[in-house]
Chains A and B, each alone.
Chain A
Amino acid sequence: KQEVTQIPAALSVPEGENLVLNCSFTDSAIYNLQWFRQDPGKGLTSLLLIQSSQREQTSGRLNASLDKSSGRSTLYIAASQPGDSATYLCAVRSMSGGSYIPTFGRGTSLIVHP
């Protein structure tokens, strides 16, 4: 059964710092991994989707990498801003997780203070 862990659970940083959020998964036979952000009281916003054949994806100040063999993905946020404050979730789809049913981590709660 696929298990997804996100570390740290919470992070508070000053504006301008470069950040790394971690997502690890137990079964490396994945189809893809998707990163989301969730603002308080809101739904999830898709940030990046990395298919298993890819090593990384970039969108603006965000870069997500995938290392299947070690069961890890990292989300890199460059030059953080207060507007980046949110909970960041990763979700993995794998055969052991039910193929089309994503397994979600608990998220990393990020606060960027001015």
Chain B
Amino acid sequence: GAGVSQSPSNKVTEKGKDVELRCDPISGHTALYWYRQRLGQGLEFLIYFQGNSAPDKSGLPSDRFSAERTGESVSTLTIQRTQQEDSAVYLCASATGLAPYNEQFFGPGTRLTVL
């Protein structure tokens, strides 16, 4: 079946603009994660959604970052007033079954460049 998809694949924006990144998880996957991967760095956890429970937002770096998810479907990550340090690859992963035992499947990522 189809894997996790993300759009756009690349986004170039000017400092101060808002951007919205989209993630379509694998159908039926109740869990959804967002990560950030800066050049040469490890993956940073941003936010976790599990079904209809309140999301875990503990990884969001500032109040300029927010994410929404409608039920168990699409999620959007919004970055307001982008800064150059926001430049990174943003990865989404989905999983079925209960955390922490579930297996994560990743999308191809969105490469964000803030000029």
Contact = CB atoms under 8 A, between A and B. Distances in A.
Nearest to A39: B108
A99 B31 CA distance: 14
Interface in B66-96: 91, 93
B100 interface: yes
Interface residues of B, number: 26
Contact of A43 (B42, B48, B91, B101): B91
Contacts, number: 57
A104 B36 CA distance: 12
B20 interface: no
A46 B103 contact: yes
Interface stretch (A12-20, A29-37, A59-67, A78-86): A29-37
Interface of A is mostly: strand
Interface string A72-114: 0000000000000000010101000011111011110000000
A70 interface: no
A31 B101 contact: yes
A32 B109 CA distance: 24
Given A100-B48, A101-B45, A104-B42, A51 B101 contact: yes
B45 A102 contact: yes
B104 A34 contact: yes
Interface of A: 31-32, 34, 36, 41-46, 49, 51, 89, 91, 93, 98-102, 104-107
27 contacts: A31-B100, A32-B100, A34-B103, A34-B104, A36-B106, A42-B108, A42-B109, A43-B4, A43-B6, A43-B109, A44-B106, A46-B105, A49-B103, A51-B101, A91-B104, A100-B48, A100-B50, A100-B56, A100-B100, A101-B33, A101-B48, A101-B56, A101-B58, A101-B59, A102-B45, A102-B104, A106-B41
